[in-house]
Chains A and B, each alone.
Chain A
């Protein structure tokens, strides 16, 4: 009898403790890894009293699948790439932003606003933009040996490459080499790219989108793809890591703030987004993570070496040579089909 009572009371007690905390205000942020410095989140909580519950993903597809799964008690702020903003917007997964709650949005670079993937910025505001290029360790591979995407196909790199675990970015390489648009919707062009990528697969050691710079820093990988911000962070620890904008054209992308329709705390979400667009906050993000910010008022605040860094802020020439990633509409499943083949059939 005593045992039973003990069981009962301990179960009750623990179940009581388990009931959701009624106390603090929260905001559930779902973001790419290594994209917001810890200090920034703490500053937000200090200023607003809202606790940030932070989780991460390493690909748009994982984020999208998760969002579909947690329809009810979901996330409040998410950071999809451009083509996912339009996809999710069309499918009704996002709620329109209340721009009255986002006054800091007025300082955003007009060149990144009102884009085809979200006309009128109904659902999104740009958070950070950057590029994907080639990284190599100059103490192992001499400067100038890898300057084209095509160079990665060199059989001397068999089993040595790191590639992003990102479908569009990997296809970008092949499409650019073959002279097509990175946003191609032509099934023949996509197929040609796939066939070219099949030949690349033996060169790949690993796919990594969590923290691509770490294998370079650990000496496991000496050449491959990388995001410019990751290269920037790597260079802070090892100056031998170089970042190259490939001659065929770098992949240029933008990640945006969105609020899912199922968000539990939309007010807190808006507060968070507004906070992130403050110039002092944007400055910290750029200096720590190495990506470019659309917050124009942050640019004068940046340290010299950051402002002058080619890795963080490419020249207009490089931008013109590269291509911004955007929606491919109904061609997306074609890419997905080939991508799965590459990932499993290699």
Chain B
């Protein structure tokens, strides 16, 4: 039985990792098409850096990811707090909207936002992209922070209020610091989602603001480009770092059982 289990795990993991491994190996392969090994080289990394369009798109992606992650975490945390603590009209509808957003395929979000931008008259570029990215990260940040709030000791808040704290002080000094691990892991999750996004970006960004996944998409449609392999390797490395970081942060969550 144990042998079968090991075999099964090995099978699944090799399927998941094999393509990535090929990418990484080919990033260092002198042979352009990666069909045979021609020797170790770092020239593709050089070619990648030389590709100014690619680097510009990478910079744009980073900026959007950082901004979107920060703002989505902020708004998501506030939303989690609001839904948890406050009672206000339309609360259920908004919660439902948030869940719908989370479950819905990205493309629905993408086109609905495109229609919105066209109707309102926001020109497609940095701002339209930022609003879109914040919006699709929002459900995830809210759920992450919400989970942490569930395990929150309400007596802390009562005690603070007894000592004379106002609502805003409660938020800044008591609630937010306790939520810190959830905030950080939401930020990481949003950052990754934003960097990864192809679908939403392909509809709502404009010519002035090209982002990395779209640039990669247009490059890979035109065939094998070794610079893409180099870039992919770096991105795999980046995601490794992000995963390890997030695991360190949500260790507590695993102890309390998984989120649903």
Q: Is chain B in direct contact with chain A in the complex (CB below 8 A)? A: yes
Decide: A28 and B207 in contact? CB cutoff 8 A: yes
Q: Does B144 contact A (CB under 8 A)?
A: no
A residues near B52, Cβ cutoff 8 Å: 51
B interface SS class = helix
Decide: A211 and B206 in contact? CB cutoff 8 A: no
Decide: B210 and A18 in contact? CB cutoff 8 A: no
The tally of CB-CB contacts under 8 A between chains A and B is 72
Decide: B222 and A73 in contact? CB cutoff 8 A: no
Q: Smallest CB-CB separation from A26: which chain B residue?
A: B208
Q: How far is the CA of A11 from the CA of B118 in the complex (A)?
A: 27
Segment 34-83 of B: residues with Cβ below 8 Å from A: 52-53, 56, 63-64, 66-67, 70-71, 74
Interface size on A, residues (CB 8 A): 31
A interface SS class = mixed
Decide: A56 and B207 in contact? CB cutoff 8 A: no
Chain B: minimal CB distance from A327 (Å)? 27
Decide: A56 and B218 in contact? CB cutoff 8 A: yes
Decide: B124 and A7 in contact? CB cutoff 8 A: no
Contact of A54 with B207 at beta-carbon distance under 8 Å, contacts A4-B176, A18-B67, A211-B222 already known: no
Chain A: minimal CB distance from B139 (Å)? 20
Q: Does B223 contact A (CB under 8 A)?
A: yes
B180 partner, pick from A3, A28, A69, A210, beta carbons under 8 A: A3
Interface size on B, residues (CB 8 A): 30
Segment 144-182 of A: residues with Cβ below 8 Å from B: none
Chain A: minimal CB distance from B173 (Å)? 6
Chain A: minimal CB distance from B224 (Å)? 8
Contact of A73 with B207 at beta-carbon distance under 8 Å, contacts A1-B173, A11-B67, A18-B67 already known: yes
Contact of A211 with B176 at beta-carbon distance under 8 Å, contacts A30-B207, A70-B123, A74-B207 already known: no
Q: How far is the CA of A4 from the CA of B78 in the complex (A)?
A: 12
Q: Does A300 contact B (CB under 8 A)?
A: no
Q: Does A14 contact B (CB under 8 A)?
A: yes
A residues contacting B by CB (< 8 A) are 1, 3-4, 7, 10-11, 14-15, 17-18, 20, 28, 30, 33-34, 51, 53-56, 58, 69-75, 210-211, 214
B residues contacting A by CB (< 8 A) are 52-53, 56, 63-64, 66-67, 70-71, 74, 118, 123-126, 130, 172-173, 176-177, 180, 183, 206-208, 210, 218, 221-223
Closest 8 CB pairs of A and B: A211-B222, A214-B223, A210-B221, A72-B123, A18-B63, A14-B67, A14-B66, A1-B172
